[in-house]
Amino acid sequence: MNAQELSWLALWGAVALYAIAMVASSIHLARVADAKVAAKTRAKAAVAAGGVADERPAPASALRAGSEPEVRVRSRAAGIAKSTTLVGAILNGIGVVARGIEAGHAPWSTMYEYTITGTFVAVVVFLIVQSRRDVSYLAPGVTGFATIALGIGMTVLYEASTGLRPALQSFWLVVHVSIAIIATGVLIVGAVATVLQLMRDYRDSGTAWLQRFRWIEAVPEPAKLEALAFRLHAVGFVLWTFTVMAGAVWAEHSWGRYWGWDPKEVWSFVIWVIYAAYLHARTTQGWAGRRSAVLALIGFVALIMNFTVVNIFFQGMHTYA
Amino acid sequence: MARVKIDNYAYANVPRLGFVGWLRWIWRQVTSMRVALILLILLALASIPGSVLPQWPQDAANTQGFIDENPFWGPLLDRLGFLDVFGSAWFTAIYLLLFASLIGCIIPRCLVYWRELRAPVPPAPTRLDRYEPVTASAPQGARVVMRNAEFALSPEVSPRSGERGGRQSRRLVHRPRLWRWFADYLIRVDERERRGDDADSELALSAHKGHVRELGNLIFHVSLVAILIAMATGSMLTYRGQALIVVGDTFTNAVVAYDSYESGALFSEDQLEPWTLTLDDFEAEFDLVGLPTEFTAYATLTEPGQEPRQVETQVNRPIQVEGAKIYLQGNGYAPVFTITDADGNVAFEGAVPFLPQDDVYTSTGVIKVPDVTSGEQLGFTATLLPTAVVDGDTAQSLHPSPANPVIYLQAYTGDLGLDDGVPQNVYELDESQLSPVRGDDGQPLVVEMQLGDTIELPDGLGTVTWEELPRFAAFDLRRDPTLPWLLGSAIAALVGLSMSLFAPRRRIWLVAPLKPHAGRKTTVVEAAAWAPAHDTAVREELERVLVAATGRLTEAAPTPEER
């Protein structure tokens, strides 16, 4: 088996495992939602009966803090989701490394290579956050995104590896593109958290069509999700700033100008400005919460646009893929 | 005060703003966060057309084509600035307003920050109840507890383990004050009366952190202004030129030698250093399918007053010369022709750069021969196929290497239009006053040439000889003395941004009575912390400080009955 076959098999394996992880984590999320709803109903019943004494610890503390009851659900689905995500990420990593060995350079020069590395980073970022606190409610979104992105990468975007063209033979390929990919991975996880935040927020305030999705109960309150999303977006924004700056240094080095409003540069700038607006909106009265979350999602859409539409349809100096 | 009547005719009692008032009102609007936010969103929206529509500075030919194809929308969009978005009045207005807002925002904030830095830390609140306090009891007295807490929050010394003479050693290292200021809490401890108990007094420690966050925020925004200033200054001090050098030729750094040249308002042409660059050789490597793998230009650079030196440049490795950089931007073939006219005199001799049109270097070029001794001027359009493969009537190039170079030449006679005084594109033939040379069948004649061939033009017009096929390299030359400033500002912006996003903003308070509780020998310390919602680690820090101060873990917060 050569590196190409290894990469191919490992990546398909990763797609399959991510798909399983998505299903398993969704089942787990539904269980958590059930348990939470049950706990809430119990707490309400206890309050209604005036009997604080008999069930004191859990509901009392929950009511005092004004937050939700803590529920711990152990399900087999959670275990399956965890292990498949981990093994999937390892296979994904093997796929990326094998592709790099096959190509003979850092595998970041085509859309296919960007996709397989980007999914890997997104899942790894999720696993890192997961190792610090329980964010299993992000799992369906992240693994679902990873399944789709990697699947599209394997079927549509695949290109046989080639040597690097002269414009890309630079140390800055490693710096600029790798940080861009890492930023993308972090922002993907941040966007998932923001989507959940908005869904939970609108469901809580009575939006009709969201009432059907009981699983939303399993995610934390909007304020907590906002805090998590902000931390991820802050990291992503700093990395994106670095990407743009490193790109400018490389452009100065290679094209003789640090900024030339090439379509990719325009969109990188647009993304940067939108996320900057998001960070400002968070601290502006009337914009904090929902509006700022929407801005973050618009930024994410621009990020995906930059990778897809701009790469495929716009002619510019970044068209390598 | 002013009485506002909801009446169409009476605003008499409302104070009139006046000119200064209006200015102040506008300034307050511009510097408000909401307006800054809207300007940011506008900036993002305004940039998008710059990537969708063709732009003059990026691609003039394409833009002209767009205008020609869309007789209604093209000129309209052009007039509205959509075909040069980033130079348009409205885009400039948005970012200038944004920077005005930014400056209006950070100057007062800098002043406030300066004042706050010198102001003492605010004392601990008298009631900690709002901040979900925790308690811990300590066997020591309140003063010892507070000293321990202070040391935990901002130690003057820290242990450092190292190896000395093969033995593990631990010693205490004094931490620099600046670093402590940067990394630790600013602390104050007050002795004050205990609330609700005049006889008793307590020690209240108040520790604040967050000045680094604000500092980072200010650094970031000031750096953005610095970036803008550096860019604006750079555009005035810069010059840029493009030159195409055929292998063997020498380029002298003077305005006339450039194919295109532009410079900023504050750069004068006399400042160009008269160095010369001779292109000795150019190597282009391609893989089997024709994708480029490496381009290298070997050249000799002679700077005034210095020995000539050999330089080598690749796409990502510019040549440094006298504050400027020379970038390898493109390459192609420049076939050498000798053309004789009807009288047999050599009317043209030299290399003609052909511009590559695709990945396999199918290249097109134009030869203009104005200096014929008699008769009409000659003009040629030509297409070069580096590795030509003929398939029936069509020929195409398979590979960019010159394995089987073939040129298809078409000749014209007439007036080249060079004497009109209008500058002409050297890569295009103005056919308006030319007529194609026709063959025996009456069709325009297309001649196929191999390297070294000499062809005779019909009607005794002359001969064309293809002598050689050297390569050319296209160079961009830039000078921008503000680049180091730009880089410095960018790095400062990045550092400031990281500080403003990742440095924590926290407050920690510890309150302990000076006299132990009646009947107890321990000091009960009450502690609380505050941080923004996203900072969940502050509770852990509070716990750490309490353990360091009292040697105990915290106890559950006392319920109202226990108090």
E-assigned strand segments in B30-99: none
Mutate to test the interface with A, among B38, B51, B535 (most CBs of A within 10 A): B51
**According to the model, what pLDDT value does residue A66 have?**
43
Q: Is B501 on the interface with A (CB under 8 A)?
A: yes
Chain A CB contacts of B497 below 8 Å:
237-238, 241
For chain B positions 528-557, those within 8 Å of chain A (CB to CB) are 533-534, 536
Name which residue leads in pLDDT, A12 or B26.
Answer: A12
- Contact yes or no for B217/B113 (Cβ under 8 A): no
User: pLDDT confidence of A21, banded at 50, 70, 90?
Assistant: very high
Evaluate the CA torsion angle B389, B395, B397, B402 in order and state its sign: positive
Give the C-alpha separation, A160 to A4, whole Å: 9
pLDDT number for residue B7: 47
Q: Which of A159, A119, A117, A143 is nearest to A16 (CA)?
A: A143
Report the pLDDT averaged over residues A21-50.
86
Q: Which residue has the tokens 């190792």?
A: A131
% chain B with pLDDT above 70: 91
Which chain B residue lies closest to A309 (C-alpha atoms)?
B52
Mutation site for A-interface testing, chosen from B48, B296, B316, B319 by largest number of A Cβ within 10 Å: B316
Q: What angle do CA A156, A158, A164 make, to 5 degrees?
A: 140
Per-residue H/E/C for chain A: CCHHHHHHHHHHHHHHHHHHHHHHHHHHHHHHHHHHHHHHHHHHHHHHCCCCCCCCHHHHHHHHHCCCCCCCCCCHHHHHHHHHHHHHHHHHHHHHHHHHHHHCCCCCCCHHHHHHHHHHHHHHHHHHHHHHCCCHHHHHHHHHHHHHHHHHHHHHHCCCCCCCCHHHCCHHHHHHHHHHHHHHHHHHHHHHHHHHHHHHHHHHCCCHHHHHCHHHHHCCCHHHHHHHHHHHHHHHHHHHHHHHHHHHHHHHHHCCCCCCCCHHHHHHHHHHHHHHHHHHHHCCCCCCCHHHHHHHHHHHHHHHHHHCHHHHHCCCCCCCC
Find chain A residues with C-beta within 8 A of B295's C-beta: 166
> Is the pLDDT confidence value at B11 over 60?
no
Tokens 């000659």 belong to which residue?
A: B378
Beta carbons of A241 and B314 less than 8 Å apart: no
Give the distance from residue A276's alpha carbon to the nearest chain B alpha carbon, in angstroms: 8
Residue B550 to chain A, least CA–CA distance (Å): 27
Q: Report whether B538 contacts B509 (CB < 8 A).
A: no
The pLDDT of B121-130, averaged and rounded, is 89
Tokens of B331: 């390459």
Q: Which residue blocks in B292-424 are alpha helix, DSSP H?
A: none
Least confident of A162-166, B24-28, B551-555: B551-555
Neighboring chain A residues of B48 at a CB cutoff of 8 Å: 266, 270
How does pLDDT run across A182-197, given as a tens digit for each residue?
A: 999 999 999 999 999 9
Average pLDDT over residues A260-272: 93
B291 contacts A162? CB cut-off 8 A: yes
Range with the poorest average pLDDT among A285-289, A294-298, B90-94, B550-554: B550-554
State ipTM. Answer: 0.89
Confidence of residue B552 (pLDDT cuts 50, 70, 90): low
What CA–CA distance (Å, rounded) separates A227 from B533? Answer: 6
Residue in the block written with tokens 């006399």: B270
Of A231, A287, A314, the CB nearest to B51: A314
Are A280 and B476 an interchain contact pair (Cβ–Cβ within 8 Å)?
no
Report the alpha-carbon distance of residue A161 to residue A164 in Å, rounded: 9
Q: How many helices (H) and strands (E) does chain B have?
A: 11, 28
pLDDT at B166: 57
CA dist B463 to A157, B380, B459, B466, Å?
52, 12, 11, 10
Q: Among all residues of chain A, which has the CA nearest to that of B87?
A: A261
Give the DSSP letter of residue B354.
B
Per the CB < 8 Å rule, is B40 touching A277?
Answer: yes
The tens digit of pLDDT for each residue in B130-157 reads 888 888 888 888 888 899 898 888 888 7
- Is the minimum CB–CB distance between A320 and chain B shorter than 8 Å? no
- By C-alpha distance, which of B315, B299, B308 is closest to B247? B299
Nearest residue on chain A to B324, judged by CA atoms? A256
User: Six-digit token pair at A199?
Assistant: 């869904």
Within 8 A of B34 by CB-CB distance, chain A residues are: 284, 286-287
- Name the residue facing B37 among A165, A254, A277 (closest C-beta): A277
Query: Which residue in B37, B292, B497 is closest to A280 by CB distance?
Result: B37
CA distance B490 to A6: 42
Report yes or no: B161 at the A interface, CB cutoff 8 Å: no
Cβ distance A245 to B490 less than 8 Å, yes or no, reads yes
Flag if B44 and A274 touch (Cβ within 8 Å): yes
Q: How far apart are CA A150 and CA B27, in angstroms?
A: 50
| CA B210-B216-B221 angle, 5° bins | 135
* A-B C-beta contacts closer than 8 Å: 127
CA angle B373, B419, B473 (to 5 degrees): 85
More confident residue, A261 or B554: A261
On whether the CB atoms of residues B322 and B274 are closer than 8 A, the answer is: no
Task: Decide if B109 touches A, using CB distance below 8 A.
Answer: no
pLDDT tops 90 at residue B183: no
Q: How far is B63 from chain A (nearest CA, A)?
A: 13
- Tell me the residues of chain B between 442 and 481 that have a Cβ less than 8 Å away from chain A: 476-478
- Mean per-residue pLDDT, B60-85: 91
Contact B291 A165 (CB under 8 A): yes
User: Can you give the pLDDT at residue B554?
Assistant: 64
Give the separation between CA A133 and CA A155, rounded to whole angstroms. 35
Q: Do B43 and A284 touch (CB under 8 A)?
A: no
Question: Is there a contact between B139 and B521 (Cβ–Cβ < 8 Å)?
Answer: yes
- The size of chain B, in residues, is 563
Cα(A227)–Cα(A290) distance, integer angstroms:
13
Closest CB to A256 among B43, B325, B494? B325
| DSSP code of residue B392 | T
pLDDT(A58) > 50: no
> Is A308 within 8 Å of A153 (Cβ atoms)?
no
H/E stretch holding B253: none
Residues of A in contact with B478 (CB under 8 A): 256-257
Q: Is the Cβ–Cβ distance between A317 and A260 less than 8 Å? A: yes
Helix (H) or strand (E) holding B468: strand B462-468
Question: Is residue B296 less than 8 Å (CB to CB) from chain A?
Answer: no
pTM of the model: 0.86
pLDDT band, residue B517 (cuts 50/70/90): low
- Residue B57, chain A, CB below 8 Å: the answer is yes
Shortest CA distance from A320: residue in chain B: B291
Listed residue (A89, A136, A141) closest to A116, CA to CA:
A89
Question: Distance (Å, rounded) from C-alpha A113 to C-alpha A100?
Answer: 9
| Whether B327 contacts B476, CB under 8 Å | yes
**B528-540 pLDDT per residue, tens:** 999 988 888 888 8
